[in-house]
Structure 1
């Protein structure tokens, strides 16, 4: 992960915590993929993908979470739930926190897409 990518993940984690969510884990990795942030929003387990784009000529950060990436996130979430039986009973959702080029300044709010996709 690039230093800039880590910075955006740090900003996303802080943004999540400011909303009262509990960050359980960051950068969960397994053989099928990675999840940037796993958090609790009340009773809901939230798998969060953090995306950023620095160049406005490319597709937006949120749009970069394509079907292939979604499948990898779903697989990684399944790995996490197998590894953490205590979390299996919780409702789950997949959110995207995106930092678009115009939102690159440190004081800008990210674009939050709640329930960006479903299993």
Structure 2
């Protein structure tokens, strides 16, 4: 596994822990829909389905992880959410939400995990 992939996997592991800590249930990780792409985390928050994008960055090397959600990425996430719903039998009673988890890894100290709900 290369360093970039390992960093992303570590960030996703931290994101899963953070989502579970706030009462969400993780349904899938790294779910693929053909060539359309991949959903990092699919979860359930009460009656809502949550499609979660995870962005992990090391401090000061790149833009803040929460700034990485471009209009193109938002559209891709909408398409992937529709693909999940088509394959799973439709939307739950609580609807669908797209969240972003940003993980910032400082040189020293604990990682910072930020969860933004309903970003799309």
TM-score (structure 1 length as normaliser): 0.86
Alignment counterpart, residue 53 of structure 1, candidates 53, 57, 63:
57
Alignment counterpart, residue 65 of structure 1, candidates 69, 72, 87:
69
Aligned ranges 1:33-112 → 2 under 5 Å:
33-85=37-89, 87-90=90-93, 91-102=95-106, 105=109, 107-112=110-115
TM-score (structure 2 length as normaliser): 0.85
Q: Tell me, which stretches of 5 or more residues in structure 1 are unaligned?
A: none
Q: CA deviation at 1:100?
A: 2.6
Cα deviations by residue, 1:31-82 (Å, 9 ceiling, x for unpaired): 2121100111100111100001115253211111101111111111111111
Cα deviations by residue, 1:15-35 (Å, 9 ceiling, x for unpaired): 111111110111111121211
Number of residue pairs aligned between Structure 1 and Structure 2? 115
